[in-house]
C-alpha cells in the first residue's frame, strides 16, 4: 500500500473546523430572543437551524473544491453545478429541511463569459432537479489570486443555501436513533466532490501531467469519467419526509468518508452500527484504488466508495423507503443495522 501524499490531513481538518465552530458559537448569544436565533441542534450537524418566530430555516455552505480542475482540464463546465448543489442541498435535507434557495460565489482569475454561461446553465438545471431557486450571486475577478490548470479561466465555486422545515416535519438530529434500526444506503454515481487531491496525485503519478486525456475505456477519457456529476439525493429525501416516513438519522457521505460522516448522525444517540452490506465501490473507484495502491482504510476515509447517503429507520419502514427509491430511479439497499456499541464497524469490504 502507498503512503498517501495528497497533502490532505483529515484529522487536522476536523480539529480546525471544531476550533472555527467554537468561534462561531461564541456569537450565538447575539440573536437570543430575536429573529435569527440559532435553534438547538447537535454539534457537527450537516446544517444549522435558524428561528424566525414560528418559521424554522436551515442554512448550509460548501463548494465544489478541487473537482473544478476537472472542468478546466476537459473544458466541460456544464455539469459541475450538480456537484455544487449536491454539496449544500443534500447537507440541508439531512436535518429534514426542504432546500429552497441558493446563492453562489464564483471567484475567477479573469472572466470568460462563455464558460460562466455554461456553468450557470448547468447550475440552473441542478437547482431545478432539487427544487431550488437561485436568489443571488457574485462573480469576483481576482487575478492571480485564483490558480488552476491551463490558460483558460481559472475558477473556485462555492454556495450557501437555505431550506425550510415545515410544521409537518421534525428536525432530524439523530437523537431518536435506536438499537436494531436498519441503515439504508443510497448508491452514488461517482466520487461526488471530495477526495480529488488524492485522485489527482494518483493520476499524475500514473499517466503524467496530461492524465485527463488518458483513455479510461474505448469512449471515455479519465478526465471525463472523473467529472461524473454528483447525484442529488434531495428529491428522494423530500418525498420520503413528505410521506411522513419516520427517518431518525441521515448522513451525507462526503469528505471524511463513511465512518466520519455517519458518526455525526449517530453522535446525539451514542449508538454505533455494523455496516456489512454496503454498496461495492464503483469500478472507477476500484481502478483508482488499485493504481494508487490505496488501502481500504484510506479509501473509505477519503471517498464515499459507492455510498453517497446513509439513513436510519425502524425496519418496519425499510420496505417502503426502498420502494420509493426505486420508483424515483435511485439505488438503495439495507446496508446494516444500529448497535449500542458506540462504534461503527465496516464489514465485508472488497479485497484490494
**pLDDT tens-place string over residues 202-224:** 999 999 999 999 999 999 999 99
| pLDDT tens-place string over residues 165-182 | 998 899 999 999 999 999
Residue 70 and residue 297: Cα distance in Å, rounded?
26
Residue 308 included in any domain: yes
What CATH number has the domain bearing residue 276?
3.90.650.10
Which domain-ending residue is among 121, 138, 164?
164
Asked if residue 214 and residue 141 are part of one domain, the reply reads no
**Domain co-membership, 263 together with 121:** no
Query: Rounded CA gap, 164 and 187, in Å?
Result: 26
pLDDT (tens place) for every residue of the chain, 352 residues total: 555 554 556 677 668 877 887 887 888 888 888 888 887 665 556 677 888 888 899 999 999 999 999 999 999 999 999 999 999 999 999 999 999 999 999 999 999 999 999 999 999 999 999 999 999 999 999 999 999 999 999 999 999 999 999 988 999 999 999 999 999 999 999 999 989 999 999 999 999 999 999 999 999 999 999 999 999 999 999 999 999 999 999 999 998 899 999 999 999 999 999 999 999 999 999 999 999 999 999 999 999 999 999 999 999 999 999 999 999 999 999 999 999 999 999 999 988 7
Clarify whether residues 158 and 188 are in a common domain.
no
Boundary residue ending a domain (115, 131, 164): 164
Number of domains in the chain: 2
**pTM over cut 0.75:** yes
In angstroms and rounded to an integer, the radius of gyration of the C-alpha atoms of the chain is: 20
Its domain, for residue 279, covers 182-346
How far is the C-alpha of 125 from the C-alpha of 136, rounded, in Å?
16
Domain-terminating residue out of 101, 133, 164: 164
Residue 183 and residue 219 in contact, taking contact as beta carbons nearer than 8 Å = no
- 151 with 106, same domain: the answer is yes
Domain assignment of residue 8, yes or no = no
Tell which phi-psi region holds residue 233, choosing left (phi > 0), alpha (psi between -120 and 50) or beta.
Answer: alpha
Are 82 and 191 in a shared domain?
A: no
Cα gap 172→265, rounded to integer Å? 9
Q: Is residue 69 part of a domain?
A: yes
Sequence-ordered alpha helix ranges (H) in the chain: 10-25, 68-74, 80-93, 113-130, 196-207, 222-226, 234-242, 257-266, 283-291, 296-302, 318-327
Rounded to whole angstroms, the Cα distance separating 113 from 287 reads 36
Helix boundaries (H) for 97-195: 113-130
* Residue 169, phi-psi category: left (phi > 0), alpha (psi -120 to 50), beta (remainder): beta
Instruction: Say yes or no: 143 and 198 in one domain.
Output: no
> At 45, which CATH number?
3.30.1330.10
Amino acid at each position: 500500500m502507498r503512503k498517501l501524499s495528497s497533502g490532505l490531513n483529515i484529522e487536522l481538518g476536523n480539529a480546525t473546523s471544531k476550533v472555527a465552530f467554537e468561534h462561531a458559537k461564541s456569537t450565538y448569544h447575539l440573536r437570543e430572543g430575536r429573529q435569527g436565533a440559532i435553534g438547538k441542534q447537535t454539534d457537527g450537524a450537516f446544517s444549522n437551524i435558524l428561528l424566525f418566530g414560528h418559521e424554522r430555516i436551515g442554512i448550509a455552505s460548501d463548494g465544489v473544491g478541487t473537482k473544478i480542475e476537472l472542468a478546466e482540464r476537459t473544458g466541460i463546465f456544464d455539469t459541475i453545478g450538480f456537484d455544487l448543489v449536491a454539496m449544500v442541498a443534500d447537507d440541508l435535507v439531512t436535518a429534514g429541511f426542504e432546500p429552497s434557495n441558493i446563492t453562489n460565489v464564483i471567484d475567477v482569475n479573469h472572466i470568460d463569459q462563455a464558460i460562466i454561461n455554461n456553468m450557470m446553465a448547468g447550475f440552473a438545471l441542478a437547482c431545478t432537479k432539487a427544487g431550488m431557486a437561485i436568489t443571488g450571486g457574485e462573480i469576483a475577478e481576482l487575478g492571480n489570486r485564483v490558480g488552476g490548470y491551463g490558460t483558460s479561466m481559472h475558477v473556485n465555486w462555492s454556495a450557501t443555501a437555505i431550506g425550510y422545515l415545515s410544521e409537518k416535519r421534525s428536525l432530524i438530529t439523530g437523537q431518536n436513533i435506536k438499537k436494531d434500526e436498519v441503515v439504508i444506503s443510497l448508491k452514488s454515481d461517482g466520487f461526488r466532490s471530495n477526495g480529488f487531491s488524492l485522485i489527482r496525485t494518483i493520476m499524475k503519478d500514473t499517466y503524467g501531467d496530461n492524465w485527463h486525456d488518458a483513455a479510461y475505456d474505448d469512449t471515455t477519457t479519465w478526465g471525463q469519467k472523473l467529472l461524473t456529476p454528483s447525484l442529488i439525493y434531495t428529491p428522494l429525501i423530500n418525498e420520503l419526509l413528505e410521506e411522513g416516513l419516520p427517518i431518525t438519522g441521515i448522513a451525507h457521505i462526503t469528505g471524511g468518508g463513511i465512518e466520519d460522516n455517519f458518526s455525526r448522525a449517530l453522535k446525539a444517540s451514542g449508538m454505533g452500527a455494523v455496516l456489512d452490506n454496503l454498496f461495492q465501490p464503483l469500478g472507477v473507484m476500484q481502478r483508482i484504488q488499485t493504481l494508487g495502491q490505496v488501502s481500504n482504510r484510506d479509501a473509505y476515509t477519503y471517498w464515499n466508495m459507492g455510498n453517497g447517503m446513509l439513513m436510519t429507520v425502524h425496519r418496519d419502514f425499510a420496505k417502503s423507503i426502498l420502494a420509493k427509491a426505486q420508483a424515483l430511479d435511485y439505488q438503495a439497499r439495507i446496508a446494516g443495522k444500529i448497535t449500542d456499541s458506540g462504534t461503527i464497524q465496516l464489514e465485508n469490504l472488497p479485497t484490494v
